[in-house]
A and B are shown apart, each in its own frame.
Chain A
Amino acid sequence: MTFRTNHSIYIELTMTLTEIQIKKIEQLVSNFQDTPGALLPLMHAIQDDLGYVPEDSYSIISKAYNLSIAEIHGFVTFYHHFRTHPSGKNILQVCRAESCQAMGSEEIELYCKDTLGIDYHETTDDNLITLEPIYCLGNCACSPAVMINDNVIGRVSKKKIDDIIRIAKENL
């Protein structure tokens, strides 16, 4: 099992944007200026780059796209994929859907929470892993499944969760 950490530009846990980040957002906003349905690809681009969609980006988008801040906030918060706060260096998503339940995912969920000492939507103190629930990874033939960053792992056992955490630490 191998995987890489998530973000190309990793940023510290701070809610104030740096000059570089603002420039980056402005650049992305202008890239999608003429794209129909721009908000969806734009938010993906921002999150791919910065690791999250900072609320401070709303005013930049608002001016460029002639949308209210409320509309942008409404959009971002509607979709589970977008986060408005930085995540840890790795994102561990545990599938909660029926097929995985049939193969004991509940135990895996509890094990992840216990081992990492966090609940869903939280990040470990050392900033190593953010834990998220997910509803189906399309890996239902090999349940239970989890995804670490962009890598799906099938037939997950407690041992495989230990391996994931170990590799995440080694990747540092």
Chain B
Amino acid sequence: MTLKIYIPIDSTALSLGAEEVYRAILLESKNRKLEIEIVRNGSRGLFFLEPLVEVETNKGRMAYGPVDISDVPSLFDSEFFLGRPHKLCLGLTDEIEWLKKQERLTYARVGITDPLNIEDYEKYDGFKGLKNAIKLEPQLIVKEVTESGLRGRGGAAFPTGIKWQTVLDAPSEKKYIVCNADEGDSGTYSDRMIMENDPFVLIEGMIIAGLAVGADMGYIYLRSEYPHALAVLNKAINIAKENNYLGNNILGTDHNFELEVTRAAGAYICGEETSLLESLEGKRGMVRYKPPLPAIEGLYGKPTVVNNVISLATIPIIMDKGGSYYADFGVGRSKGTLPIQLAGNLKNTGLIEKAFGITLRELLYDFGGGSATGKSIKAVQVGGPLGAFIPEAQFDTPLDYEKFSEIKAVVGHGGIVAFDTTADMSKLARYSFEFCAIESCGKCTPCRIGSTRGMEVIDKIKSGKDQEKNIKLLKDLGETMVEGSLCAMGGMTPFPVISALNFFPEDFGVEKKETSA
């Protein structure tokens, strides 16, 4: 029997030396004259254990990690390739508590399969959703998606079904599907993981979107910071074409769908949908006025579905198992699951796909294991650089769009960045403005100029100059930006700033009483 070993090819695993481990294992198996088949799978998302090497046994896959190249000889000495014990052995992968407690729907295949093996994809339920959808009238596909309760996973949480209905109802010869893969929020990597580790699920979701609204052209607008995802997606698109899932007469029907990847160019603002469309049209990524909505007048003025990677990658399971199956997960109006990404100062970081409703505390301590440094967790920022800082007192808030909105925070794209007690919240607040100044498209004055003025006001507060007056000024500026900006860049930058000031005034050199107002 040939022995089978899995070594991840996800870029975070690679960033920790998975490629070197692969080469060391390959060399060692040759030296020992062992017949070993090495599969380069995706990552399971347990990044605190990467590089995580798995071995196929008759009981299931056995995990070893984190593996360093210096561990390779001893792994071979203890015959890990037969699933034998070793100090790095973590037991059966499926039994690892961190993974076992999850509800993997969108990420069902991630880490299990070879990302570019289309037979693997089909074997693990791939293209089942498409095969169901292709037999349905467009309206029935949209109905199923609406029933699933899926909301935009990019951050805005707009109901996907309603967006699709608008595009379906818009009369036009030409329509587009645009995938927003400009995942710029710090603390998030779920899009990257889908694109690198299960690219066919995104492709399948986009084809279904095309069938649902009558579009035959799709673009994936991918951030330039993800060269590995770019290579994987381009290969996957070619494989899908060769297998008649893309191109003309998909699966022998009259349906056509073309798909292309467009590389973005390092502008955070292009994650905003209208700015993204401008960029895709070959212009500066300046935010557009809304209305008209992109669903009515989007790319080149045509009706366009703009969805985030996770939203689109969730469509196949909805069309496979039904909208109500998906809607059974979650709480209140937050249906289904969310890929939560633990990042920053945490002991156990990685991807957790869980139904909505889990609390921050459970995520940070039960999954995250507390801070990496061993100090207490001072605050977390959820939902990227525009999300509010949340203090320990609010860690019992459940992950739910509405519950988060009640505490003036956002779930966003599901990234959680933790900070320990050494973090200076005034520095982070200042950085929020600095980031806004660097990334603002410049269309709205409050965002373009307010961001720079905001930095100056924070500096004045910190230096103790007219504190009371300047705190009032900072709050006024925040309101102006929230009310006077077209998009979330200017409109949400004050959230982290003001939350930092309200919850951690001492970091600004301010006594607590002065900020309450």
Which range holds the interface residue count of chain B? 35 or more
Whether B155 is near chain A, meaning CB under 8 Å from some CB there, is no
At the interface with chain A, which of B105-113, B233-241, B280-288? Answer: B280-288
Q: How far is the CB of B462 from chain A (nearest CB, A)?
A: 17
The interface bits of chain A over 92-110 (1 if a CB of B lies within 8 angstroms of the residue's CB, else 0) are: 0000011111110000000
Known A80-B266, A97-B186: A154·B281 in contact at CB below 8 Å: no
Residue contact B417 to A74, C-beta cutoff 8 Å? no
Contact of B12 among A1, A36, A40, A139 (CB under 8 A): A139
Contact of A1 among B17, B263, B268, B342 (CB under 8 A): B17
Give the number of chain A interface residues (Cβ < 8 Å).
42
At the interface with chain B, which of A20-28, A144-152, A164-172? Answer: A144-152
Whether A135 is near chain B, meaning CB under 8 Å from some CB there, is yes
Whether B184 is near chain A, meaning CB under 8 Å from some CB there, is yes
Residue contact B417 to A102, C-beta cutoff 8 Å? yes
Whether B224 is near chain A, meaning CB under 8 Å from some CB there, is yes
A151 CA to B343 CA in the complex, in Å? 20
Whether A82 is near chain B, meaning CB under 8 Å from some CB there, is yes
Residue contact B186 to A41, C-beta cutoff 8 Å? no
Whether B262 is near chain A, meaning CB under 8 Å from some CB there, is yes
Residue contact B186 to A40, C-beta cutoff 8 Å? no
Residues of chain B within 8 A (CB-CB) of A44 are 224, 263, 265
Residue contact B186 to A38, C-beta cutoff 8 Å? no
The interface bits of chain B over 30-63 (1 if a CB of A lies within 8 angstroms of the residue's CB, else 0) are: 0000000000000000011010000000000000
A98 CA to B284 CA in the complex, in Å? 26
Residue from A81, A97, A137, A151 with most neighbouring chain B CB atoms (10 Å)? A97
A155 CA to B279 CA in the complex, in Å? 33
Contact of B439 among A135, A137, A145, A147 (CB under 8 A): A135
A19 CA to B498 CA in the complex, in Å? 56
Residue contact A37 to B417, C-beta cutoff 8 Å? no
Q: How far is the CB of B179 from chain A (nearest CB, A)?
A: 15
Considering the complex, which residues of chain B in the window 280-298 have a beta carbon less than 8 Å from any beta carbon of chain A?
Answer: 280-285
The interface bits of chain B over 218-239 (1 if a CB of A lies within 8 angstroms of the residue's CB, else 0) are: 0000001111100000000000
Residues of chain B within 8 A (CB-CB) of A142 are 12, 15-16, 47, 50, 349
Residues of chain B within 8 A (CB-CB) of A36 are 281-282, 300
Whether A75 is near chain B, meaning CB under 8 Å from some CB there, is yes
Residues of chain A within 8 A (CB-CB) of B226 are 138
User: By DSSP majority rule, is chain B's interface helix, strand, loop, or mixed?
Assistant: mixed
Known A40-B282, A98-B385, A101-B428: A140·B188 in contact at CB below 8 Å: yes
Q: How far is the CB of A12 from chain B (nearest CB, A)?
A: 25
Contact of B417 among A78, A81, A98, A150 (CB under 8 A): A98
A103 CA to B252 CA in the complex, in Å? 52
Whether B423 is near chain A, meaning CB under 8 Å from some CB there, is yes
Residues of chain A within 8 A (CB-CB) of B381 are 98
Q: How far is the CB of A40 from chain B (nearest CB, A)?
A: 5
Residues of chain B within 8 A (CB-CB) of A81 are 224, 264-267
CB-based nearest A residue for B420: A102
Whether B344 is near chain A, meaning CB under 8 Å from some CB there, is yes
Whether A130 is near chain B, meaning CB under 8 Å from some CB there, is no
Contact of A143 among B17, B268, B344 (CB under 8 A): B344
A56 CA to B183 CA in the complex, in Å? 33
Residues of chain B within 8 A (CB-CB) of A50 are none
Residues of A within 8 A of B (CB): 1-2, 36-41, 43-44, 74-75, 78-82, 97-103, 134-143, 145, 147, 150-155
Residues of B within 8 A of A (CB): 11-12, 14-17, 19-20, 47-48, 50, 183-189, 191-192, 224-228, 262-268, 279-285, 300, 341-345, 349-351, 372, 381, 385, 415, 417-420, 423, 428, 431, 435, 438-439, 441
Q: Which 7 A-B pairs have CB atoms at the shortest separation, nearest pair first?
A: A97-B186, A140-B343, A154-B15, A102-B344, A79-B265, A81-B266, A141-B47
Known: A102-B345, A141-B351, A142-B15. 16 other contacts (CB 8 A): A40-B264, A44-B263, A75-B282, A78-B267, A78-B285, A79-B265, A97-B187, A102-B343, A102-B418, A103-B344, A140-B349, A141-B349, A142-B349, A143-B343, A145-B15, A154-B12
Q: Could you give 6 example pairs across A and B, Cβ below 8 Å? A: A75-B283, A100-B186, A102-B420, A139-B15, A141-B48, A145-B15
